[in-house]
Amino acid sequence: MNFAINNYGRIFVGNDKLYKEKKHKRNFKDWNKKEALLQTYDKKNGQIINSLVREIYGYMNMYKDLDNEDVMYVEKKLSTLEGKASRMVRDIINASQTENEIVLIRKHLENLRKFLFIMNYRNRQRWSQFADEKFDSTTWALLQKHMEEHKLKKAHEVWLQNIRGILETPHNDIKDDSRIFSVDRMDYQLRMVDCFLVIWQAGDNDEFIITNNGFGIFEGFTGIGPTGPFQFAYHWFYVISPKLVLVLCNHGLRSEFIESTFSKSILADAPHPLAKVKYAPISESSRSTGGTTFDERLRCMGLERTENDTLTFPFAKISSDTVSLVNSILLNETKPDLILTFLSPSYLYKTIAKYHKHKEVGLHERDFTGLKRMLFKELNKTHEEDLNLRKNIPDGRINTWTVREIDSNR
């Protein structure tokens, strides 16, 4: 599924049959997005190239052996959610170019959070885990019990049912939807409900990169506990443009709650401004009961969280070193099938050079020697030769870094 931002809309329809339906196709006809080109580095081929979006990030056979009727239903629900989320992303990017903050409505923000989770949940690694049944013994036992309760025969049927459940269920009720595997419900709650959002903005001379497995990468640590493997995240990263990254932050990083434990985050000193909330008016007869302790405290003040509340998020400018750390975290988690999308060859060269100096990232020592050598060659060509990398594009095609794809099938 394609992710195009800035001056272009998005295609979220991974299924060709659905894309060809008139009511979906008309939403995309103005931008020729299926032909959009990216400036990318493909590690397998050892080349820096301009390539079609679908050729670079398309995933094959994601829905193999699954019921086609269920698949089409999920794809249509996804395309609806995508449309809502993409408008928010465009609004955020446009506002960042002229304003210091952006005002978002809570119900729209909840759609965006749900979208971010599904994008990460649909990546190749997560899907393969279900398709190949690669789970630790504790999780596998829980999954088998879940399959028995819901009369599912294969693990990847759970994967599809989870997506369907998340799409159909209100954001705050997902934790209670038994159709969704309990481990994934907990993951959604911890990340999409309990974490607070900040928007980091790179400076004029800095930029974020994109890697094919980097949407939703976290900064934290992993380990083995009494019940099996676990992970603890300080930050989750979702790069949406060369200048902006959405960051979901553990609540321990709030200034009023911060403890010594959180000083272990390599980004603890980066800005973590909280959104300013304006609660929408609500009548006495419409007030709800229950909820969290925070909800009870709000009601005591005559307030209540509603879908029409507004939240004002500042664009938090971050230092060059912080941008470099975020990029290094993305590079550190790359796989042998790395595809890297970038804006400036010169900045990418500097990013790679700095990666090996950021020991605090817990380096896996990824080897970017080949890419660094190619960039060095390109940067030392004559002006005319250097421009060929960007200008040798067929007529009628789009050349923009801001078109990206997270996950798709054909």
**228-239 vs 403-405, strand pairing mode:** unpaired
Residue carrying the six token digits 């928007």: 199
- Top-confidence range, 313-317, 354-358, 381-385: 313-317
pLDDT digits (tens, 9 = 90+) for 193-237: 999 999 999 999 999 999 988 999 999 988 777 766 778 899 999
pTM of the model: 0.82
Q: Which pLDDT does position 9 carry in this prediction? A: 31
Q: Read off the tokens for 156.
A: 């990847």
Cα–Cα distance for residue pair 93/244, rounded to 1 Å: 8
Torsion of CA 271, 275, 276, 281, to 10 degrees: -170
Q: What is the largest CA-CA distance in the chain?
A: 72
Q: How far is CA 203 from the centre of its chain?
A: 21
Which residues lie closer than 8 Å to 295 by C-beta, 6 or more apart? Answer: 288, 304, 305
Please check the confidence at residue 81 and state whether its pLDDT lies above 90.
yes
User: What is the residue whose two structure tokens read 């195009």?
Assistant: 4
Instruction: Answer whether residue 338 shows pLDDT above 80.
Output: yes
Q: Which of 14-28, 62-76, 123-137, 246-260 is predicted with the least confidence, judged by mean pLDDT?
A: 14-28
Written as one string, the DSSP assignment of 341-366 is E-S-HHHHHHHHHHHTT-GGG-----
Q: Which two tokens stand for residue 1?
A: 């599924």
The CA-based dihedral angle spanning residues 113, 14, 129, 342, taken in that order and rounded to the nearest 10 degrees: -70
Q: What is the pLDDT of residues 116-139, one digit of tens each?
A: 999 989 888 888 999 999 999 999
pLDDT band at 155 (very low <50, low <70, confident <90, very high): very high
Domain ranges of the chain: 66-193
Query: Comparing 32-36, 134-138, 336-340, 354-358, which segment has the lowest mean pLDDT?
Result: 32-36
Q: What is the pLDDT of residues 54-64, one digit of tens each?
A: 555 555 556 66
Q: Which helix (H) or strand (E) holds 221?
A: strand 217-225
d(CA 246, CA 97): 16
Greatest mean pLDDT among 20-34, 55-69, 139-153, 335-349 = 139-153
pLDDT above 50 for 303:
yes
* Most confident range, picked from 49-53, 353-357, 405-409: 353-357
Place of tokens 């470099």: 324
Q: Among residues of the chain, what percentage have pLDDT more than 70?
A: 72
Helical H segments across 170-306, by residue range:
182-188, 293-300
| Mean pLDDT to the nearest integer, 279-289 | 64
pLDDT band at residue 377, thresholds of 50, 70 and 90?
confident
Amino acid 385: pLDDT: 55
> 362 and 332 in contact (C-beta within 8 Å)?
yes
> Strands, E, within 79-216: which ranges?
101-105, 196-201, 210-211
Q: Is the pLDDT of residue 34 over 50?
A: no
